[in-house]
Amino acid sequence: TYIVTDACVRCKFMDCVEVCPVDCFYEGENFLVINPDECIDCGVCEPECPIDAIKPDTEDEADGKWLRINAEYAKVWPNITVKGEPPADRADFERETGKFEKYFS
Ligand code: SF4
Ligand code: F3S
Relative to the alpha carbon of 42, which ligand is closest? 1
What is the DSSP annotation of 5-34?
A: -GGGTTT---TTGGG-TT--EEE-SS-EEE
pLDDT at 105: 58
* pLDDT greater than 70 at residue 41: yes
Taken in order of first residue, the domains within the chain and their CATH numbers are 2-85 (3.30.70.20)
- Residue 2: phi and psi, rounded to 5, are -100, 160
Query: ipTM of the assembly?
Result: 0.98
Residue 14 CA to ligand 2 center (angstroms) comes to: 5
Q: In this predicted structure, which of 40-49, 63-72, 76-85, 96-105 has the lowest mean pLDDT?
A: 96-105
Minimal CA–CA distance to 28: which of 48, 51, 56, 9?
9
Is 12 near ligand 2, meaning CB less than 6 Å away? Answer: yes
